[in-house]
Chains A and B, each alone.
Chain A
């Protein structure tokens, strides 16, 4: 495992070296395997271009969470394979953000067992990183210092260089010395992404990270996240409001309703994904499921507003 990790790092460094010589990072040609788990068999020979096996497995067993008398998550059962990309959708207040906070260790489950990489989650996991809806950059630190924050506790020997390389990954190396206040919203989110990536996370949690961005920046960021996920091979869990974003990025879309998993759908589309008929099909399946519930509820006395 350790040597596989090291080889993965070598592959990234090779990648960085190539990019430093002017090769584009965003529109890199699709790599031969679309899924880290599938790539596992063939990885030995072609290490350089296949994603390193870096991600962690997540197992939830009968996880519940309540705040006072309010039951937010009810006996959740879920297993996520290492290196996969899972999107969680659901109406506001369905508990999807709570689930993410439990995974990150920011909150504790009321009951049940929650394991990351085979270990019970107790406190903030050192190999997990969190990307928030707002970038949460420290306004009094330069862009580079903000990225270096992602290396806290890693004892890296050359944080400056690693932070700089992470900035290169998101295409903002030339803004390293600036204050966050002069960046646009999309640029700030890219810096936050660099900060999350610089410590080579094995689990990356996204809490609607693109919710506040305009449509074009969103699509650009989605492509960047997908690209970096495939390159680095971490496990990704993304909470989103946007069904089409979920279908564009995830191997698996999970719909949560009233604290329970209402739908668990594998998205069997090749990457990179185009918004074609297959794409529309999956989008429709999820939307139908959500709207069917909406119809049921409309017969009831009150009509809730959905945000997906």
Chain B
């Protein structure tokens, strides 16, 4: 019994600090030390959240934001992955495209916002384009790096054992590149939310970012804070998703082994 209790205390370790901040924040708000006009208390944020949930606005905003994020992610991520794959495998393709991609990569993609608004107005295409653009580069670079860093001795072994073309990619090169590809995947998820927040805040008529900007107009700080917390939550969710993939696909990796590893990942 004592042991189980101890285990729970340790399991809850990552939540101690958020909980402490929440409590301290509420105390500051309810004692009046921090005026509502600076920062609404957690309770007020929760009430705002409840109100928006019951009238359906919140679900609609989360829905549309998630849809944009995922669509942009799939387009940009897939393109980055395919191009990374091509350039990792075909030297001619790499010679042709890599230096161009590296040049474009160094332009902050958010700098494209004025141009994107000019092209697409505040329609869906612009936001999805920006997300796809942001997601493309980490996926591309990490896929390429992953393929390049596959142990050449394993490739040689595969050839000696008669693996040809597609088999060699499927059995040796892709699994060898997977750890790096998943790193790119995690980076890309982070960039996906960041891009979307900025895009929705600047040019949108729906979504979480729009909800926040709209609330600012009417000085509803509780809704603004709610939006910020939502982004934090969504970011955490996508990170968990990436970790889930890592644990599923990298089971063989000592780092991700379920038990008996000193590097057990949380």
Give A contacts to B, CB under 8 Å: 104, 106, 124, 126, 129-130, 132, 134, 136, 138-141, 149-150, 152-153, 179-181, 195
Contacts and interface: CB of A to CB of B under 8 A. Distances in A.
A136 B162 contact: no
Contacts of B61: none
Contacts of A126: 162
A140 B157 CA distance: 14
Interface stretch (B1-9, B120-128, B167-175, B213-221): B167-175
Contact of A138 (B175, B250, B251, B254): B175
Contact of A124 (B160, B167, B176): B160
B10 to A, nearest CB: 26
A296 to B, nearest CB: 36
A140 B160 contact: no
B92 interface: no
Given A132-B153, A136-B154, A149 B171 contact: yes
B159 interface: yes
A176 to B, nearest CB: 15
B166 interface: no
A179 B252 CA distance: 6
B156 interface: yes
Q: Give the residue among B157, B250, B253 with the most A Cβ atoms within 10 A.
A: B157
Q: Which 5 A-B pairs have the closest CB atoms?
A: A136-B157, A140-B175, A152-B162, A140-B252, A153-B162
A272 B133 CA distance: 68
B78 interface: no
30 contacts: A104-B160, A106-B156, A106-B160, A124-B160, A124-B162, A129-B161, A130-B160, A132-B153, A132-B157, A136-B156, A138-B154, A138-B171, A138-B172, A138-B175, A139-B253, A140-B175, A140-B176, A140-B252, A140-B253, A149-B158, A149-B163, A150-B161, A152-B163, A152-B167, A153-B162, A179-B251, A179-B257, A181-B252, A181-B253, A195-B161
Nearest to A139: B252
Q: Give the residue among B171, B251, B252 with the most A Cβ atoms within 10 A.
A: B252
A126 B156 CA distance: 15
A98 to B, nearest CB: 14
Interface in B242-266: 250-254, 257
Q: Give the residue among B159, B162, B253, B257 with the most A Cβ atoms within 10 A.
A: B162
Given A126-B162, A134-B153, A149-B171, 14 more contacts: A106-B160, A124-B160, A124-B162, A129-B160, A132-B153, A136-B157, A138-B154, A140-B253, A179-B257, A180-B252, A181-B252, A181-B253, A181-B254, A195-B161
Interface of B: 153-154, 156-163, 167, 171-172, 175-176, 178, 250-254, 257
Contacts of A129: 160-161
Contacts of B167: 152
Nearest to A192: B157
A153 B159 CA distance: 12
Contacts of A104: 160
A179 B153 CA distance: 19
A50 to B, nearest CB: 29
Contacts of B153: 132, 134, 136
Nearest to B164: A153
Contacts of A124: 159-160, 162
A132 B172 CA distance: 17
Nearest to A126: B162
Contacts of B178: 140
B259 to A, nearest CB: 11
Contacts of A136: 153-154, 156-157
B169 to A, nearest CB: 13
Contacts of A149: 158, 161, 163, 171
A181 B175 CA distance: 15
A50 B65 CA distance: 73
B162 A106 contact: no
A149 B172 CA distance: 11
B57 to A, nearest CB: 46
B226 to A, nearest CB: 43
B9 to A, nearest CB: 31
A101 to B, nearest CB: 10
Contact of A106 (B159, B163, B251): B159
B250 to A, nearest CB: 8
Nearest to A196: B161
B160 A152 contact: no
A150 B162 CA distance: 8
A124 B61 CA distance: 60
Contact of B252 (A130, A132, A134, A141): A141
A126 B254 CA distance: 33
Nearest to A105: B160
